[in-house]
Amino acid sequence: MKKVFFGFVVLTMLVPLAFAGGGRSQPEPTEMVQVWRGTIGGGRLVNNLNPHTISSTNDSDIANFMYTTLLIRNPRSTEWEFIPCIASSLPDISEDGLVWTFTIRRGLTWSTGTPINAHSFEYSLRMLLDPKLVNRNATTYWTSVDIVNARAYFLGENAPDHDLPIVSWEDVGIKALDDYTLQFTLSTPTLPLIGILTLGTSSSSWLVHEELYERGMNADRTETSYGTGDVLAMPYFGPYRITQFVLDQYIELEKVESFILSEYYTRELFSYRLVDLDTVRDQLFTAGETDSLSIPAASYETWREDPRTRQGRGGQPWHIYLNSQSTEVPALRDVNFRQALYYSVDRDTLAHAAFRTFIGAAGFVGTQAVVGDVFAGTVEAYRDSRYGIQALPANLGYDLTIARRYFDLAFAANGNRRIEFNLAYFEGQDSMRRMAEVLQEMWMNAFGADRLNVVIVAMLPSALYDSYADRTHQAGIGSMTQSSLNIWSSMQVWTTDFTDKIDTFSNREFDELFTRTTTGDLLFATADERAWALMRMEQLLLEYVPAIPLFQNTNWVAYSERTHLLSEEFLPAGLGFLVDRVDPMVWLSP
């Protein structure tokens, strides 16, 4: 057992242990067949396997099979146990906590035979942070941890108000000291768990294949086609490889026996199908052709009492994003109108009517997020803590008296003229259409059809998210992922200068709290102080209402008898049910 010390924080991490099998007498199944909804990611099974730009759940799931990281969390353990993978050992951390050094295993190669070493990481991270490429996943290296000059290098001449110096790559705290020594230098110390998760296991540190990355680069080096071509030809260096692929229909991955930690991965084969209809997915599972079923609303009553069904906690709330800068709908710029919409949503009714298996969510932080110390065993769900409870209004924010008071103010400010706006939902998803219809009815009934008209519009997810970024939307559904273990870093999506920003919120106090909790004085503060800061950040969002929190999926999933669960109880802090698969923290697409 190795202990890493710096300052007053102690982190204990376990070295690789043989897995005893948990006393199971039945043989391990060799294949797991799973199914995705056809509308996820715009109806595509795989769009993009470039780690620097991956955005969809489908792509991330597949990439998680094909790529690996310096360390991995033991997928066969019910604890947070980190195992050296591409690294040959756990990191060496300087006494002041600023320098993290990883030693890379010798003899590693891509599937193409190209060597993997410390220089492979430096190249990949230099491309991730390249100011011309503007990769959406780069922010990890100055939000989750603050790498020296990472933000300044990435923003370059595009720094807001030119408040950062122009620096070269040589000034960034990521260095291959030699072929097998990789070193990160931080501007400020970080919590051990955050450092391990960000530098050691984050998907942001997945490697790219230098030769192919460069081959796909355009002339002005602002874009590469890497990861978007022939899926079967993509190089890999993870526990599984793609062996069959039919566009928008089917993908199969088989175990790579030569993978350095192959003993931790028991499944020989994974198969994914893309199926549009809930009824067909239900039939496939009932017939024993798939090993898991994300319970659809239509068959909720059928499956809720089935012994194979488990209820977990979802990742993050879903929102209606409001364009508070809208020129087409002046009322959206009025905080009174946004508050009226917020308080007039009966969230539990909405969640049940549209999705059946979902729960109402009135805040901007999901039920999975925890506060406290994971390794000390003192974590609790933020939503259940006194701070998480205090952050939210009563009754999940549903109060028609308050809502109508706000609406009267907004209606008067609008010249007592009827307010009309478009509400967009994801095209091709029946549950999303029902959600929009229920919201339309709730809002128009609350305030009167003579004073408010809500027009529902179907849009492809990609087009809808583009409209948020371009500020051409009025109101529409969406969500951004959250880290259950480091929820403070996930709040970056609401900061003023977030590079992939899709909302219209900007608040100096919020930005300062984000900086203080992720890289500043509140990073090492007491659990109470950090929880208070999170509460205050959520309160600021609720005061402005850049988006209306609505619901959160609860991951009702039925597992076949062939699928082993390493835990029968849902575990906190992102562990879930620990399905015996590649990465138990990656759920089937909701």
pLDDT digits (tens, 9 = 90+) for 545-568: 999 999 987 767 888 877 766 666
Question: Please, what are the domains in the chain?
Answer: 1-15+28-312+557-590 (3.40.190.10), 318-552 (3.10.105.10)
Decide: pTM greater than 0.75.
no
Sign for the CA dihedral angle at 55, 61, 66, 68 comes to positive
Mean pLDDT of 338-358: 92
Chain Cα centroid distance, residue 159: 25
Contacts 24+ apart (CB under 8 A), 394-400: 396/347, 396/348, 396/360, 396/361, 396/362, 397/342, 397/343, 397/345, 397/347, 397/362, 397/549, 398/343, 398/344, 398/345, 398/346, 398/347, 398/362, 399/343, 400/343, 400/344, 400/446
Task: Tell whether the model's pLDDT for residue 7 goes beyond 70.
Answer: no
- How large is the average pLDDT for residues 209-223? 96
- 403 pLDDT exceeds 80? yes
- Distances, alpha carbon 21 to alpha carbons 1, 77, 196, 262, 565, in Å: 21, 10, 27, 15, 12
Top-ranked range on mean pLDDT: pick from 198-207, 300-309, 356-365, 383-392: 383-392
Predicted pLDDT at 584: 29
pLDDT at 314: 62
| Tally of CA atoms within 13 A in the half-sphere of 510 that contains its CB | 21
Residue 578 has pLDDT above 50, yes or no: no
Q: What integer pLDDT is reported at residue 160 of this predicted model?
A: 67
Residue 305 predicted with pLDDT over 90:
no
Which is more confident, 36 or 373?
A: 373
User: What residues contact residue 412 under an 8 Å CB cut-off, 6+ apart?
Assistant: none
Which of residues 377 and 532 earns the better pLDDT score? 532
How far apart are the C-alpha atoms of 112 and 247, rounded to whole Å? 23
Residue bearing tokens 């009827």:
418
Q: Where are the alpha helices (DSSP H) in 196-257?
A: 210-215
Residue 295 in this model has a pLDDT that exceeds 50: yes
Q: Is the pLDDT of residue 17 over 80?
A: no
CB 216 within 8 A of CB 224: yes
H/E element, 549: strand 547-552
pLDDT of residue 74: 80
What number of CA atoms fall less than 13 Å from residue 54's CA on the CB side? 22
Tell which wins on pLDDT, 257 or 46: 257
